[in-house]
């Protein structure tokens, strides 16, 4: 199939382009070629390109950036994706768009299903939610991911790993919980989803296991390093509150771990535990095995 992938300078877009190029013809459309901030120009950029599936991980992903420029957030996360989704519908192509667990208010614990009520707290969450509705309305597919990590671009685990190996004091937020998404697993699920022609709708896509805080992930990284003799025993991670980090100005939901039953029903594969995925990521980052 011919796939157009946006956001290929980002974490998810890069992972998808690398994985899917082995199986499909991939046309990469980074921001320089397709700017969601200008929805009409974004559609024009696709006029001359016949494709079967448009995959859109691009968007304004920084929560503080969205608070600072809500108008740009709306164009990049709502109007741009909506215009692309209508173009796909008109051209008879499929669209797979990405969204976030931050569409939930996170006030109560428990795994969130695709049917659960959304009530985003931030401009990022609100615009991503509006974008979801527009893409679904045009017949597209929306995949919600959370706390994404992978080799394509440093994320929280990579910063923690670097700090731990450098002997710096460790601290991590302990009062926010989700289930992370490993890019390499996500890329496999999307590859399989592309193969299920005729499938559309809303899917949660994250690893499985107990919901975890960044502090819990940090402790897992420390114990991984200690078990392999890469860190002295006894290194601890100071638990922090989101309130301790004034740079996180946008409101963030507390409990946003997602259930993946819909994805499992369509693909027939259970996502692996986030700890196993994190270990794989650490092993490949450290060139172990
Ligand atoms: N990362 C996470 O933890 C996380 C969690 C939940 C949901 N998600 C969702 O997953 C998707 C992928 O996230 P990610 O982690 O890959 O994000 P990312 O690493 O921040 O990448 C975002 C991508 O979007 C591009 N972009 C930004 N503004 C654009 C615009 N106006 N027009 C076209 N492209 C634009 C960026 O291009 P430049 O490089 O040029 O800026 C970059 O390629 C997003 O929809 C995000 O909302 C991510």
- State pLDDT tens for residues 220-240: 999 999 999 999 999 999 999
115 confidence band (pLDDT: 50, 70, 90) = very high
Angle ∠(226,229,234) on CA atoms, nearest 5:
40
Residue 289: pLDDT over 90: no
Instruction: Compute the distance from residue 42 Cα to the ligand 1 centre, in Å.
Output: 16
Instruction: Give residue 236's pLDDT.
Output: 97
Cα(28)–Cα(9) distance, rounded to whole angstroms?
Answer: 9
Contact 6, 85 (CB under 8 A): no
Q: For the domain bounded by 2-150+180-208+257-272, which CATH number is listed?
A: 3.40.50.720
Instruction: Give residue 152's pLDDT.
Output: 97
Catalytic: which of 51, 102, 104, 124?
Answer: 124
Cα(62)–Cα(248) distance, rounded to whole angstroms?
Answer: 10
Instruction: Name the nearest CA neighbour of 200 among 122, 261, 150, 266.
Output: 266
Percent of the chain with pLDDT over 70: 100
DSSP secondary structure letter of residue 157: H
Instruction: Give residue 265's pLDDT.
Output: 96
Question: Is the CB of 12 inside a 6 Å radius of any atom of ligand 1?
Answer: yes
Instruction: Compute the distance from residue 34 Cα to the ligand 1 centre, in Å.
Output: 13
Question: Is the CB of 208 inside a 6 Å radius of any atom of ligand 1?
Answer: no
Active site (annotated) includes residue 182? no
Cα(169)–Cα(107) distance, rounded to whole angstroms?
Answer: 31
Question: Is the CB of 128 inside a 6 Å radius of any atom of ligand 1?
Answer: yes
Question: Is the CB of 29 inside a 6 Å radius of any atom of ligand 1?
Answer: no
Question: Is the CB of 10 inside a 6 Å radius of any atom of ligand 1?
Answer: yes
Residue 30: pLDDT over 80: yes
Please enumerate in sequence order all residues whose Cβ is within 8 A of that of 12, keeping only pairs 6 or more positions apart, or say none.
57, 98, 145, 148, 152, 183, 186
Instruction: Compute the distance from residue 261 Cα to the ligand 1 centre, in Å.
Output: 25
Nearest CA residue ID for atom 11, ligand 1 = 57
Question: Is the CB of 36 inside a 6 Å radius of any atom of ligand 1?
Answer: yes
State the SS3 of 224-250.
HHHHCCCCCCCCCEEEECHHHCCCCCC
Instruction: Give residue 263's pLDDT.
Output: 97
User: Which residues pair with residue 96 across a beta bridge?
Assistant: 55, 141
Instruction: Give residue 275's pLDDT.
Output: 98
Q: What is the pLDDT of residues 158-198, one digit of tens each?
A: 999 999 999 999 999 999 999 999 999 999 999 999 999 88
Instruction: Compute the distance from residue 226 Cα to the ligand 1 centre, in Å.
Output: 33
Q: What residue segments make up the domains of the chain, in order of their start?
A: 2-150+180-208+257-272
């Amino acid at each position: 199939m011919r796939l157009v992938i946006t956001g290929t300078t980002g974490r998810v877009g890069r992972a998808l382009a690398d994985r899917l190029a082995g199986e499909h013809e991939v046309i990469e459309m980074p921001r320089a070629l397709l700017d969601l901030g200008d929805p009409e120009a974004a559609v024009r950029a696709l006029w001359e390109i016949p494709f079967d599936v448009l995959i859109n991980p691009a968007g304004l992903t920084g929560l503080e950036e969205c608070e600072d420029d809500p108008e740009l957030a709306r164009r990049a996360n709502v109007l741009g994706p909506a215009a692309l989704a209508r173009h796909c519908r008109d051209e008879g192509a499929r669209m797979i768009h990405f969204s976030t667990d931050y569409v939930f208010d996170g006030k109560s614990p428990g795994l969130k299903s695709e049917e659960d009520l959304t009530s985003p707290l931030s401009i990022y969450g609100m615009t991503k939610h509006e974008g979801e509705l527009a893409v679904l309305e045009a017949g597209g597919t929306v995949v919600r991911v959370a706390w994404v990590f992978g080799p394509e671009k440093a994320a929280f685990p990579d910063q923690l790993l670097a700090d731990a190996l450098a002997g710096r004091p460790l601290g991590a937020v302990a009062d926010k919980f989700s289930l992370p998404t490993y890019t390499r697993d996500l890329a496999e699920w999307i590859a399989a989803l592309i193969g299920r022609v005729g499938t559309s709708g809303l899917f949660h896509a994250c690893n499985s296991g107990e919901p975890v805080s960044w502090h819990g992930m940090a402790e897992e990284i420390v114990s991984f390093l200690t078990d392999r003799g890469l860190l002295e025993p006894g290194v601890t991670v100071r638990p922090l509150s989101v309130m301790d980090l004034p740079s996180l100005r946008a409101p963030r939901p507390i409990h946003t771990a997602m259930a993946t039953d819909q994805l499992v029903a369509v693909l027939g594969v259970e996502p692996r535990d986030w700890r196993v995925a994190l270990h794989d990521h650490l092993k490949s980052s450290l060139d172990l095995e």
